Amino acid sequence: MITQTNSTYEIIDACLLAGKIMLENGAETTRVEDTMMRMAASFGIPQSHSFVTPTAIIFSLEGTDPTKLIRISERSTDLQKVDEVNSISRMASAREITLPETMKRLKQLEEAKGTYPMFIQVLAAAATSGCFLIMFQGQWQDFIPALISGGMGYLCAVLFQGLVQIKFFAEFLAAFVIGSLSVGFVAIGLGLDLDKIIIGSVMPLVPGVLITNAVRDLIAGHLVSGITKGTEALLTAFAIGSGIAVVFTLY
């Protein structure tokens, strides 16, 4: 009887940890709920209920077992981790790994660092900016300015995020840096088309995962999550827009 209760607690813990990792790293609400319920089912609890919002998960098993709540305070985007939780839950469903093994793997995954080191991401942001400039019919002469201001903008967004912990402010400052650098490049004659350079450079800041998730959540009927994520995306867009707007007002 005692081992029975213990294992019920362990099952809840494993499910909640899986849900937490997924939600913190940018999975859709449906996927989080689905994974948690599948994991519970594979460990012998066919009936479970979960309520997932972007800031908290409530998970409950049928019967008299306690309901647990877990708070999600920090959200970032690491789809590699979402993918890995997905494969761990697949393995658990196929009964390839046991509950302690699942828990061990999830804990390792929780502490794992990001897939790509910081400098690779900054380089990727720079490449994204340059390529978007060409896609939006910019000239090749503006390629290098877009490369630099896009990379710097992304770097600033990450650094400010670590410094002030307020996402919208970090994005606002990053957009301001991008705007100022672009104006500078055009002023010293390195850049030609200011508009195109700025549009290309702010692309790495666009909240792509949020937009996609908001739409997918809304379709699946998770109205609370969908609207919340949509609002977050809108606020980000507003932060970027006002950062650029401030540059124009000064310039």
Partner 1 sequence: MWEQLITSFIASATFAILFNAPKRTLFICGLVGMVGWIIYFELVSRHFDYVPATLIAAIAISVLCQIFAKLYKTPIIIYSVAGIIPLVPGGLAYDATRKFVENDYSLAVQLAAKALMISGSIAIGLIFSEVLMRITFRRSISSSKSN
Number of residues that bind partner 1 (CB under 8 A): 59
Q: Is 97 in the site for partner 1 (CB under 8 A)?
A: no
Instruction: Candidates 47, 67, 98, 115: give the one binding partner 1 (CB under 8 A).
Output: 115
Specify the amino acid at residue 215. Answer: V
| Nearest of 249, 124, 247 to residue 177 by alpha carbon | 247
Helix (H, G, I), strand (E, B) or coil at 213: helix
Q: Is 19 in the site for partner 1 (CB under 8 A)?
A: no
Locate 29 and state its tokens.
Answer: 């609400």
CB 238 within 8 A of CB 174: no
Q: Report how far residue 220's alpha carbon sits from residue 149's, in angstroms, rounded to the nearest whole number.
A: 38
Q: Which residue lies nearer to partner 1 by CB, 184 or 241?
A: 241
Instruction: Candidates 116, 141, 164, 231: give the one binding partner 1 (CB under 8 A).
Output: 116
Nearest-approach distance from CB 154 to partner 1, in angstroms: 7
Q: Report how far residue 224's alpha carbon sits from residue 235's, in angstroms, rounded to the nearest whole number.
A: 17
Question: Which listed range, 9-17, 42-50, 95-103, 213-221, lies at the site for partner 1 (CB under 8 A)?
Answer: 213-221
Q: Report how far residue 203's alpha carbon sits from residue 231's, in angstroms, rounded to the nearest whole number.
A: 19
Fill in the DSSP letter of residue 220.
T
Beta partners for 69? 58
Q: Is 135 in the site for partner 1 (CB under 8 A)?
A: yes
Q: Is 244 in the site for partner 1 (CB under 8 A)?
A: yes
Instruction: Candidates 70, 77, 99, 161: give the one binding partner 1 (CB under 8 A).
Output: 77
Contact flags string 176-195 toward partner 1, x per CB under 8 A: -------------------x
Q: How many CA atoms lie within 13 Å of 180's alpha carbon, on the beta-carbon side?
A: 12
Question: Which listed range, 12-20, 66-74, 160-168, 238-246, lies at the site for partner 1 (CB under 8 A)?
Answer: 238-246
Q: Report how far residue 12's alpha carbon sits from residue 36's, in angstroms, rounded to the nearest whole number.
A: 9
Instruction: Candidates 131, 190, 192, 235: give the one binding partner 1 (CB under 8 A).
Output: 131
Q: Is 139 in the site for partner 1 (CB under 8 A)?
A: no
Q: Is 99 in the site for partner 1 (CB under 8 A)?
A: no
Instruction: Candidates 14, 15, 27, 52: give the one binding partner 1 (CB under 8 A).
Output: 27
52, containing H or E segment: strand 48-53
